[in-house]
Structure 1
């Protein structure tokens, strides 16, 4: 259910996004908004443009046409240095397979964004340990990703995405490689932590059970938005 205290002004807004991958058009004029503290699910079949939309919204790739505005800044026009800074400080990203660094322990994987931001190592590791505890993987600090279950590794990925206190977490099929029990545990941990910290979440998924955790759902087909749960927002797109 939507939070009545959420701002009606979008924290992140995309308008008319077009993106080509070679001769294939991944996005065809897609528009979407994300409000502060909101959990938004982006759904659609494989090849509908979900991941490309997330990558544009997170500043990972630039759209060929259209605009992406975050907190008053045009992401599609920012320098790579500024985009990297945003991804270190205000954005967190979680992928289907976690993309943890296999040579690093769980605590060092989580501490990495803090270290890159200049946090002293001892403080970064201590804060990382706190986040591992919040996600129920305390005691796994020194284990490497290959020594953990899929569900444990994905919770470490979530801890890494949230350790810097981002305003937005982008989660691309975060449960796609997990069984149903691990999926439920990971989603419960993500949503609880996001609600607690007021973090907005843009969740890409093909799973209706995962989408059910969201406040609102946008469905893509062939790179365009074809349905929107919030009629008032749909009318403004």
Structure 2
């Protein structure tokens, strides 16, 4: 694809003697939503972490916008994750001591945006994902569905190029999960962000443009036989 934004090639990673990735690879085009499917322990979350620069593969390459992540310094990778990448995890991983508004503003504040401007942007995004009423509450005071919407707002507030979502509905009931997915994918499409979506649920993968299956640390398009 001529508009490939992110590509991992021949990625290998082990934890102790246990291989998590064994030559895995995938590409993501600008604005594309790709679901990464596979059973528990297949390596799909490790693949996401390598693509996002959270975990360094032992071999293979990850190239984002023409730049190889392994060639970047720690500060450059951190800035990339803070500004051009957004993250939504299964349990939200909001900072419990901060209000929901402060959680959403946090990536902007870490990037140097003044507090007033960061919180104005955060309030706008809380409204866009329809949880502006929880702005002054702390994560422990809101429901799971509300917390995940706050996490979606936090992921989108910097207008990232890629959103990494690791089982974003795994801790939610089906109704809340569907709402979170509609908001996540809908707002990503509005802003032109690509989404790498790790899931084991077919109903969640249905929101994607394309699927990649991970099994035993290797990747295949789903139409390929195993």
* Structure 1 position 227, deviation (Å): 2.9
Name the CA distance, whole Å, in 2 between partners of 1:226 and 1:78: 28
SS in 2 for 1:60: coil
Which residue of 1 is the match for residue 48 of structure 2? 54
Deviation readout 1:204-232 (Å, 9 max, x if unpaired): 00010000000000001000013346x8x
Which residue of 2 is the match for residue 42 of structure 1? 36
Name the CA distance, whole Å, in 1 between partners of 2:193 and 2:220: 26
Q: Which sections of structure 2, spanning at least 5 residues, go unmatched? A: none
Q: When the two structures are superposed, what TM-score results if normalisation uses the length of structure 1?
A: 0.93
Which residue of 1 is the match for residue 60 of structure 2? 66
Count of aligned pairs between the two proteins: 224
Which residue of 2 is the match for residue 86 of structure 1? 80
Deviation readout 1:61-115 (Å, 9 max, x if unpaired): 1000100000011012311111001011100011100100001100000000111
Name the CA distance, whole Å, in 1 between partners of 2:215 and 2:130: 36
Which residue of 2 is the match for residue 117 of structure 1? 111
Which residue of 1 is the match for residue 166 of structure 2? 172
Which residue of 2 is the match for residue 224 of structure 1? 218
Name the CA distance, whole Å, in 2 between partners of 1:47 and 1:76: 25
Deviation readout 1:139-182 (Å, 9 max, x if unpaired): 11001100000000001001001100100000000000000000
**1:126 maps onto 2:120 in alignment:** yes
RMSD: 1.1
Which residue of 2 is the match for residue 3 of structure 1? none
Which residue of 2 is the match for residue 202 of structure 1? 196
SS in 2 for 1:81: helix
**1:24 maps onto 2:24 in alignment:** no
* Structure 1 position 129, deviation (Å): 0.3
Which residue of 2 is the match for residue 153 of structure 1? 147
Name the CA distance, whole Å, in 2 between partners of 1:137 and 1:8: 38
* Structure 1 position 138, deviation (Å): 1.2
